[in-house]
């Protein structure tokens, strides 16, 4: 929890007013981001996925994480009511059948990253493996003018 608070403070120190649409000022929020690797696992046939080993290589070496996996969700529009300024629309969350996870990688830097993901079932047996060469890019939760950019990678398998 402490690293997340520290990142929030870093994002806060970079906050000021930034130009919004139409030339107006849009304030920066206190939203922050964490450097790391997000994992999106599509629904797949066969035994259920119980864990993932994620190995990332950049610079002089490689490291491995076991991110906690959560059922992946998406939104499904649920319709709108009213009209004009009183119109209200909603959506419902639904499970996709896939999984998602995140590896907090505090020392991740922008640039090339080789990533191998091994998916395992509840018995620890390997059910899938993929290797991807990609790059970590800075993400700015409030836009670049607010600062607080951190490197992240998104892997989809």
What averages of pLDDT result for each successive group of 10 residues across the chain (157 residues)? 39 41 66 93 91 94 96 89 86 92 95 96 95 95 87 95
Q: Given this model, what pLDDT does residue 25 score? A: 63
Contacts of 111-115 with CB under 8 Å at 24 or more apart are 111/58, 111/135, 111/136, 112/58, 113/37, 113/56, 113/57, 113/58, 113/153, 114/56, 114/57, 114/58, 114/62, 115/37, 115/54, 115/55, 115/56, 115/57, 115/153, 115/155
Q: Given this model, what pLDDT does residue 82 score? A: 83
Q: Given this model, what pLDDT does residue 24 score? A: 55
Residue 133 lies in a domain: yes
Structural domain count, the chain:
1
Q: Given this model, what pLDDT does residue 5 score? A: 36
- For 96, residues 6+ apart whose C-beta sits below 8 A from its C-beta are 42, 43, 71, 72, 73, 74
Both structure tokens of 116: 């191998």
Residue 10 lies in a domain: no
Residue 19 lies in a domain: no
Q: Given this model, what pLDDT does residue 147 score? A: 83
Residue 16 lies in a domain: no
Residue 6 lies in a domain: no
Q: Given this model, what pLDDT does residue 4 score? A: 38
| Domain span including residue 136 | 34-141+151-156
Q: Given this model, what pLDDT does residue 31 score? A: 84
Residue 103 lies in a domain: yes
Residue 112 lies in a domain: yes
Residue 49 lies in a domain: yes
């Amino acid at each position: 929890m402490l690293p997340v608070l520290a990142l929030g403070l870093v994002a806060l120190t970079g906050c000021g007013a930034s130009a919004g649409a139409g030339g107006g000022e849009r304030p920066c929020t206190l939203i922050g981001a964490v450097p790391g690797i997000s994992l999106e696992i599509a629904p797949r046939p066969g035994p259920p996925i119980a864990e993932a080993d994620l190995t990332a290589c950049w610079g002089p070496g490689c490291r491995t994480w076991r991110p906690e996996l959560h059922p992946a969700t998406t939104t499904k529009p649920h319709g709108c009511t009213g009209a004009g300024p009183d119109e209200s629309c909603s959506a419902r969350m639904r499970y996709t059948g896939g999984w998602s996870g995140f590896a907090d990688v505090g020392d991740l830097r922008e640039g090339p990253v080789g990533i191998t993901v091994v998916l395992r079932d509840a018995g620890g047996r390997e059910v899938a493996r993929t290797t991807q060469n990609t790059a970590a890019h800075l993400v700015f939760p409030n836009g670049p003018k607010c600062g607080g950019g951190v490197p992240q990678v998104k892997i989809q398998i």
